[in-house]
Structure 1
Amino acid sequence: MQWLFLAGAVLSEVAATLCLRVAAAGRRGFYAAVAVGYVLAFVFLTLALRVGIGLGVAYGIWAAAGVALTAIASHVLFKEPLTRTMILGILLIMAGVLVIEIGSSSH
């Protein structure tokens, strides 16, 4: 269940950030979706912590997955650049998340 809550936190945060991009472009009604998305992200993150996932693991995965998914989604939805260097960064983020998870399970 902790991973489901963490996935909810990541997806809510990414959705809120994408809505922020739309709102900043002049569609002010999207600011409500931004607020709801960020509140949901913190609620889901809190639930993930409450059911036993470690703070370092949860926050690391939440932040890293959020950065990677936001970069990919902004490329698809808003035609923002996604360079080879950015793709390398996303791959490094994925490797870092894997190392964090491996490190947390060794204790």
Structure 2
Amino acid sequence: MWFWLAGAIVAEVTGTVALRFSEGFSRLLPSLIVVLGYGIAFYSLSRALAGGMPIGVAYGVWAAVGVALIAIIGAVFLKEPLTWVQIGGIVLVIAGVLALELGRTPHAA
């Protein structure tokens, strides 16, 4: 399950970065990477869910890690500003996902 979720995150982040370079889908290669990235992301997420991962946890982890990675990539590689308030927001999103995961009721074996 976690393998598929990690793949979904990597594919979604790749697609989102390519979206930045697609210039409104006017550039072919970045546009193809966007479509392929999101397609692989949703397929991988569906495999994680089919493997029994709860949807709230899967989507929460996917969103939180994706947001954090995109913000870091934007700041480090694309020279986009990242304020302390934004960093605090990312920390809160990650904390919320941790609360979802830690608050799960264990399944009876």
TM-score, scaled relative to structure 2: 0.89
Number of residue equivalences: 106
SS in 1 for 2:61: helix
Q: Which residue of 1 aligns with 2:76?
A: 76
Gaps of 5+ in 2: none
For the pair shown, which has the larger CA radius of gyration, 1 or 2?
2
SS in 1 for 2:19: helix
Q: Which residue of 1 aligns with 2:40?
A: 40
Sequence identity (%): 48
Give the letter aligned to residue 81 of structure 2.
P
Give the letter aligned to residue 9 of structure 2.
V
Q: Which residue of 2 aligns with 1:22?
A: 21
Contact kept, 8 Å, 2:75 with 2:81, in 1: the verdict is yes
Q: Which residue of 2 aligns with 1:10?
A: 9
Instruction: Please identify which structure carries the higher helix content.
Output: 1
Deviation sequence 1:43-95 (CA, Å, 0-9, x none): 10000001110111111111121111111111112100111111111111111
CA distance 1:84–1:37, change in 2 (3 Å):
same
SS in 2 for 1:104: coil
SS in 2 for 1:30: helix
TM-score, scaled relative to structure 1: 0.91
CA distance 1:39–1:50, change in 2 (3 Å):
same
Contact kept, 8 Å, 2:25 with 2:31, in 1: the verdict is no
Q: Which residue of 2 aligns with 1:94?
A: 94
Using the TM superposition, give the Cα deviation of residue 25 of structure 1 relative to its aligned residue in structure 2, in angstroms.
7.4
Q: Equivalents in 1 of 2:46, 2:24: separation in Å?
A: 31
- Shift >3 Å, 4+ stretches: none
Using the TM superposition, give the Cα deviation of residue 24 of structure 1 relative to its aligned residue in structure 2, in angstroms.
1.9
The alignment yields a C-alpha RMSD, in angstroms, of: 1.7
